[in-house]
């Protein structure tokens, strides 16, 4: 049963590189250092194997939380944005391929959507809390701001690798996005608490 994990990891790497059609059972077997037959005996079919890969990825994320009651928004949001940037960057090839394959393999949809949904709920809750606590302008369009922050994170994490020129430097991105986001919401800087 050691080979099960080896195959899953190998399949993940190969799928990330080549997508479903390009991830041949032969390639995966070689990458896993395993006989091709073992792959069928363990997972039944190539589709089942790839599904298992995506399923595992979707489950293995412990969800990045934000405090229920905000205190220092910039200090709380910046690392959250940073972490989300890194996470999406990690799974970028998987994400892009499964997005392209949604029509042909609807099973890929859940993987492509789940993370996005969760992040959206998290940030939306947070901005609501900001408004309720009077730390953000009550009349601003908080939902839109949240959508824009998450959209920015996705766009950066996915597109930076092939259009690097347009994005802020890697080590400044999270802070800049956060600052601009808080500006949108009309949040004042916290000097000391």
Site of interaction with a copy of itself (CB under 8 A): 17-19, 21-22, 93, 96-97, 99-104, 109, 112-113, 116-117, 120, 140-141, 143-145, 147-156, 158-159, 162-163, 165-168, 176-177, 179-181, 183-184, 186
Residue 184 interacts with, from DNA, a copy of itself, none (CB under 5-8 Å by kind): a copy of itself
| C-beta separation of 111 from 55 below 8 A | yes
| C-beta separation of 39 from 25 below 8 A | yes
> What whole-number distance in Å separates Cα of residue 157 and Cα of residue 139?
30
Nearest alpha-carbon partner for 146 in 167, 162, 122:
122
Nearest alpha-carbon partner for 14 in 49, 66, 64:
49
Instruction: Find all residues with CB under 8 Å of 38, minimum gap 6, and list them.
Output: 3, 7, 29
Whole-number minimum distance, CB 138 to a copy of itself, in Å? 14
Residue 152 interacts with, from DNA, a copy of itself, none (CB under 5-8 Å by kind): a copy of itself
Whole-number minimum distance, CB 30 to DNA, in Å? 10
Residue 144 interacts with, from DNA, a copy of itself, none (CB under 5-8 Å by kind): a copy of itself
């Amino acid at each position: 049963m050691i080979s099960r994990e080896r195959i899953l990891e190998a399949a993940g790497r190969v799928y990330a590189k080549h997508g479903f059609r390009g991830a041949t059972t032969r390639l995966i077997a070689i990458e896993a250092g395993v006989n091709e037959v073992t792959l069928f005996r363990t997972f039944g079919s190539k589709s089942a194997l790839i599904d298992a890969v995506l399923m595992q990825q979707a489950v293995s994320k412990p969800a990045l939380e934000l405090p229920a009651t905000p205190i220092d928004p910039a200090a709380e949001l910046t690392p959250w944005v940073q972490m989300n940037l890194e996470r999406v960057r990690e799974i970028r090839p998987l994400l892009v391929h499964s997005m392209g394959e949604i029509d042909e393999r609807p099973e890929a949809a859940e993987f492509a959507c789940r993370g996005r949904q969760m992040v959206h709920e998290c940030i939306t809750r947070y901005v609501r809390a900001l408004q309720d606590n009077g730390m953000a302008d009550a009349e601003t369009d908080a939902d839109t701001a949240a959508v824009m922050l998450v959209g920015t994170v996705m766009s950066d994490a996915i597109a930076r690798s092939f259009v690097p020129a347009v994005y802020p430097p890697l080590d400044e991105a999270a802070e800049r996005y956060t600052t601009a986001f808080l500006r949108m919401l009309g949040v004042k800087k916290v000097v000391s608490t």
